[in-house]
Homo-oligomer: A and B are copies of this chain.
Amino acid sequence: MNGFDLSADVALGALASMHGEQSPEAARERYAIAVWCQLIEPGDSVAGRIIAARGPVAGLEAVLAGGPLPEVTARELAEARKRWLPRLSARAVAASLATAAARGVALVTRSDPSWPGQLDDLGPHAPLCLWVRGDVRALRRFEASVAIVGARAASRYGDHVAMELAADLASEGIAVVSGGAYGIDGAAHRATLATGGLTAALLAGGADRSYPAGHTQLIDDIAQSGIIASEVPCGSAPTKWRFLQRNRLIAALSAATVVVEAGWRSGSLNTAGHAAALSRPLGAVPGPITSATSAGTHRLIREYGAQCITSADDVRELLGLTPRTDAVTGVDAGRTGEATRVQDAMSTRSWRESTDIARRAGMAADAVEAILGLLRLDGSVETGAEGWRLRTAAG
């Protein structure tokens, strides 16, 4: 048992007092999760299945006892034990908990009322817990949030767009999730804070560490009113693996992901892939085709069906919300009226020539033909040898 006793460890008392546990069982479970965090890397589905089958305490005891476990294959368990057991150290767990206590980092688990249940959509890859700086109760407010992510080496255009989108959405009470990085992430966080909105930065390293170092002040500011969270324990370094796994948390915590700028190899495409794997809506902001930092977003639009995002209203639509804009401007206003007149002049039963429709609508035939073309694109009308007619809802 490597000198480990889940019921007697010295850190248990400290942890219980820090979280005001109601019962020794709850404290033991939380401590077992802290131990698991020390053993595994994010997204370890072998651990996920053992814990799903047995809970964190019995699962850990079973792994330490060394016998076979039916929920995983013998080979998986043998490989996992090889990964996990060298990391088993009561001292390391105690150190991470002491750092957490010192830096005000809470350990939030699935048993906590503030647990954001949408993370469980990750199944066996779901995080066991979140280490959180800030007001943990705010975690529940991310169910209808939007992730705004993108290139670290963003252009001024990208920074501008990220700030405009975040400020607009945040001012409407939509929480903004990002990764705390330079570039798009930082712009989204800053604009959200500036408008008094709620933002969460999900970090790849421990929640006690400010990474990147140049964002120490920003991360402290976010913790003041929002959330700094990580699934790895305090003291953990941000590795490449943890960055990529952190991306799945960004996609899973938010209701939709918007990529503002991304190069061909941007990590944001990884976040987009996770959003897609979770069937969460995915949006991408277009930009100049001459800009390398928009190559990735155009690829998402072209090849992966990401919605083309041109405004905060488009993001609201992605989230399933009604666009805020009341005053429809430009061609939309014109089109609404004109399209209505054209459709009023049409029939679902009879085919009519465009000139006939123009006459009935009292409109110029040129305008009618263009509107018919556009109405056909959106499936409202159809054309045949004898002209045009309205499509029925069933058609």
Residue positions of A touching B, CB distance < 8 A = 43-46, 123-125, 157, 160-161, 240-241, 244-245, 247-248, 264-265, 269-270, 272-277, 285-290, 294-296, 298-299, 301-305, 307-311, 314, 329-332, 334, 353-355, 364-367, 369-374, 376-378, 383, 385
CB-defined A-B contacts under 8 Å, sample of 12? A45-B355, A124-B353, A244-B370, A277-B369, A277-B376, A286-B287, A286-B298, A302-B314, A303-B378, A304-B377, A305-B377, A308-B308
Q: Is the CB of A298 within 8 A of B273?
A: no
Given contacts A287-B287, A289-B285, A290-B157, contact A276 B374 (CB under 8 A): yes
Kindly provide the distance from the CB of A300 to the nearest chain B CB, expressed in whole angstroms. 9
Using A302-B308, A303-B377 as known contacts, list a sample of 18 further A-B pairs with CB atoms less than 8 Å apart, ordered by residue number in A.
A247-B370, A270-B370, A272-B374, A274-B373, A276-B374, A277-B383, A286-B287, A286-B294, A286-B301, A287-B289, A288-B288, A295-B310, A296-B331, A298-B308, A302-B307, A302-B314, A304-B377, A305-B377
Cα A115 to Cα B146 with chains together (Å): 55
Of all A-B residue pairs in the complex, the 4 with the closest CB atoms, nearest first, are A273-B373, A286-B286, A264-B330, A244-B366
Cα A370 to Cα B271 with chains together (Å): 8
Cα A385 to Cα B49 with chains together (Å): 12
Cα A288 to Cα B350 with chains together (Å): 43
- Which of B270, B274, B307, B372 interacts with A273 by CB under 8 Å? B372
Given contacts A304-B378, A377-B304, contact A311 B286 (CB under 8 A): no
Given contacts A264-B330, A287-B287, A305-B377, contact A43 B365 (CB under 8 A): yes
